[in-house]
Structure 1
Amino acid sequence: MYEFSIQNMTCGHCAGTVEKAIKATDPTALAKVDLPTRTAKVETTVDPATIAAAIENAGYPNSFKSL
């Protein structure tokens, strides 16, 4: 599991866009996007750098760490 710290995520629409980016990269991922903490916890078999790039391409700079 990975935790992504997401910049510029300020509303529900933003959170939905982040979740869509994650799911587009790995449709089987379990993702919980938390707007108040601006984080997303993701359980995936895909390289987290690939997911980070997808979130970035959606307009949200981010970083991640393994949990």
Structure 2
Amino acid sequence: MDLVLKDMTCGGCAKAVTRIVTRIDPSAVVEIDLPTQKVAITSQHPEADLRLALSRGGFPPA
């Protein structure tokens, strides 16, 4: 799934996003393009669960 996270503005944010996703799915692959605020996530977990976790973590998908 590809998401845009407007609140992801620094390297610390990128690490936090990765941590949020891998807590739900330790085998998830998270690719971050910080300048464009885009995240590509490969996971077996439902997209809705990941979106909710990111929102609760302070990074609501646009």
Common fold by TM > 0.5: yes
Classify the secondary structure of the residue corresponding to 1:4: strand
Residue in 2 that maps onto 1:42? 41
Report the TM-score, using the length of structure 1 for normalisation.
0.85
Structure 1 residue ranges, 4+ long, deviating more than 3 angstroms after superposition: none
Deviation at 1:26, TM superposition (A): 0.6
Report the TM-score, using the length of structure 2 for normalisation.
0.92
> What is the total number of aligned residue pairs between the two structures?
62
Alignment of 1:1-67 (within 5 A): 2-63=1-62
Q: Whose helix fraction is larger, Structure 1's or Structure 2's? A: 2
Please, what is the CA RMSD of the aligned residues?
0.9
Q: Whose strand fraction is larger, Structure 1's or Structure 2's? A: 1
Classify the secondary structure of the residue corresponding to 2:53: helix
Classify the secondary structure of the residue corresponding to 2:4: strand
Unaligned stretches of 5+ residues in structure 2? none
Deviation at 1:51, TM superposition (A): 0.6
